[in-house]
A and B are shown apart, each in its own frame.
Chain A
């Protein structure tokens, strides 16, 4: 391994710099001014924008509890190219899954599990429940690719498909407790986790694994919608 032999002195210089350093010093005095110009130019061309966006200045929403995922300020793009915050999903329970569209094995089953949940709900509650798919694959699953996925799968309008930035995906996964990793093949290894959020974005139920019993999730949704119905009266 090349790095093994690198000595302590070398490492403050990059390889090109260390090779040219000694003789460049001998001519630097005469060309000092021009070098200074070159140096400055070099500096600015290589200077990348600051790595992090400044924290959002948006005021905290007082109407969400300490446990609500809707406090998160990240902005996502839907398959219809709308820019939304998670808080825009409020108002109806959401069944959330993280997935990627080119997934050959687990994700089709996960999405199928969601359609099973939807089908198991009484007809009048189906439209009142949201289903949200968030992709890990920020490179390939563009909003257009997600739109294609929606069409292919015949997903109705109460299904939301989201594309986000790498950091935001990492954060949402952290919030949901989803672990994932891209493999050399481009596929993602990931937890299979179905999360039910209540109308205010709090996690009220999670189902782990593929093709599991969907009844607990269905019961939870019915409960949430019954409570909402009662409190609306």
Chain B
């Protein structure tokens, strides 16, 4: 090979590096997903024994929650996840109860509304089928902590106001996905539409070896529980922790859906 001039070679390396950086940032993000750059997630609720911070690596997250229409395609391809065929172990009796039939959405389940009445197992199976996975609590919370214009929603007064309004209001009929405002990362509907399953929902709010499970459940609702919170004014995050720790993996409820994540 012909000798390359050292300076030209150096430029080439630098330029390639820059290009490589760009190539990494964009092309690996699948359609419908958004690149979340990662960062440090500070668990909102923790005991003295917990990690103060969790490093979140860059990952991709669905821009929107999974819709009825998308979930219908999943059950068409996977008959064992149809309402009449699903095993009770993996989904409670209310699984997809708002659909008109096994393969029919009906008036209660608009195609573009987020799918709800799905269990954690069903959400996980969907994600696997789609070649994705469920986000972890840390990934979800890191993304959801962003405001409209800032990676830190705490500094975004408008965002905080909207958030509190949603968490303190009664359930509304489900809108179509994407009707909310996108956040800093370009993700929509993390707040304001439905709660969402996370991969490790069953790692929320474990208090310690010595406490029995009943104590754990009660702990959620007693005032002293909030003493472990990093920022007690973050009512919304506190609500989510409480909600998650009250869940069981086969629960299918009207206000709980999901979206998928994917490694880069």
Contacts and interface: CB of A to CB of B under 8 A. Distances in A.
Interface of A: 1, 3-4, 6, 8, 11-14, 16-17, 20-21, 24, 27-28, 31, 34-35, 38-39, 42-43, 46-48, 50-55, 60, 66-69, 71, 103, 105-106, 167, 170-171, 173-175, 177-181, 183-185, 187, 189-193, 208-210
Interface in B104-143: 120-121, 124-125, 127-129, 131-133
B16 A189 contact: no
A190 B249 contact: no
Nearest to B87: A66
A46 B28 contact: yes
Given A3-B151, A71-B87, A192-B212, A42 B203 contact: no
Given A24-B19, A174-B249, A184-B49, 14 more contacts: A11-B184, A12-B25, A14-B25, A35-B15, A39-B20, A51-B132, A51-B133, A52-B127, A66-B88, A66-B89, A67-B88, A71-B90, A174-B202, A175-B249
Contacts of A14: 21, 24-25, 37
B263 interface: yes
Contacts, number: 181
B20 A11 contact: no
Contacts of A67: 87-89
Contacts of B17: 16, 20
B1 interface: no
A60 to B, nearest CB: 7
Given A55-B125, A179-B203, A42 B16 contact: yes
Contacts of B212: 191-192, 208-210
A31 B131 CA distance: 36
Nearest to A35: B19
Contacts of B226: none
A202 to B, nearest CB: 9
Contact of B12 (A34, A106, A179): A34
Contacts of A106: 209-210
Contacts of A6: 151
A184 B51 contact: yes
9 contacts: A8-B149, A14-B21, A17-B21, A39-B20, A42-B24, A67-B88, A103-B209, A181-B203, A183-B47
B12, B20, B26, B87: residue with the most chain A Cβ atoms closer than 10 Å: B20
A180 B203 contact: yes
B209 A105 contact: yes
Contact of B202 (A39, A60, A179): A179
Contact of B23 (A20, A42, A54): A42
B49 A35 contact: no
A174 B26 CA distance: 35
Contacts of B184: 8, 11
B49 A189 contact: yes
Nearest to A55: B128
Contacts of A42: 16, 19-20, 23-24
A203 to B, nearest CB: 9
A54 B131 CA distance: 7
- 7 smallest CB-CB distances across A and B, nearest first, come from A17-B21, A20-B18, A38-B16, A174-B249, A42-B20, A106-B209, A24-B18
Interface string B11-39: 11011111111111111100000010101
B49 A183 contact: yes
Contacts of A51: 131-133, 262-263
B16 to A, nearest CB: 4
A169 B127 CA distance: 18
B51 to A, nearest CB: 5
Contacts of B28: 43, 46-47
Nearest to B185: A11
B103 interface: no
